[in-house]
């Protein structure tokens, strides 16, 4: 561990707000496994609850973007931000939602290409074409 304790199930059991979130995570995901992110957040039960509520609304409900695409977008952001934990957890989530090897390779290709053109644009300081502006 690093700068915060990861709470065990026994420790979470004693914090009602955290316990309720852990129960909901398990029920929503139909799995007993609760990953370290939530165990770290459990040190601040209100933050844990706010974060889970958001994840549930944004990632888990019916919506205009399908679940696998959501995970690929999440991996893309996490990669650009250099969050190793997040790349691991969301790649696992994407795999669980059907990400194939071919899609994973393509996802890496797109992320890599975007990383390259982002850097080229910034190195050259390209101004935005008026055609791209929303009026």
Residues 55-84 that bind a copy of itself (CB under 8 A): 55, 57-59, 63-65, 69-70, 72-84
Segment near a copy of itself (CB under 8 A); pick from 3-11, 13-21, 22-30: 3-11
H helices present in the chain, as ranges: 9-13, 16-29, 36-41, 45-60, 67-80, 84-96, 101-124
SS3 state at 16:
helix
CA distance 104 to 20: 35
Residue 125 in the binding site for a copy of itself (CB under 8 A): yes
Residue 8 in the binding site for a copy of itself (CB under 8 A): no
Find the binder of a copy of itself among 27, 30, 62, 123 (CB under 8 A). 123
């Amino acid at each position: 561990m690093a700068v915060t304790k990861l709470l065990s199930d026994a420790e979470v059991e004693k914090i009602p707000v955290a316990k309720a979130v852990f129960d909901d995570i398990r029920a929503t995901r139909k799995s007993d496994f609760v990953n370290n992110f939530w165990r770290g957040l459990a040190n601040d039960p209100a933050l844990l609850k706010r974060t889970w509520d958001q994840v549930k609304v944004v990632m888990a409900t019916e919506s205009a973007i399908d679940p696998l695409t959501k995970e690929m977008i999440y991996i893309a952001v996490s990669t650009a931000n250099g969050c190793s934990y997040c790349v691991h957890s969301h790649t696992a989530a994407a795999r669980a939602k059907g990400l194939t090897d071919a899609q994973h390779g393509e996802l890496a290709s797109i992320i890599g290409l975007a990383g390259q053109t982002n850097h080229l644009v910034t190195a050259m300081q390209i101004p935005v074409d008026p055609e791209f502006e929303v009026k």
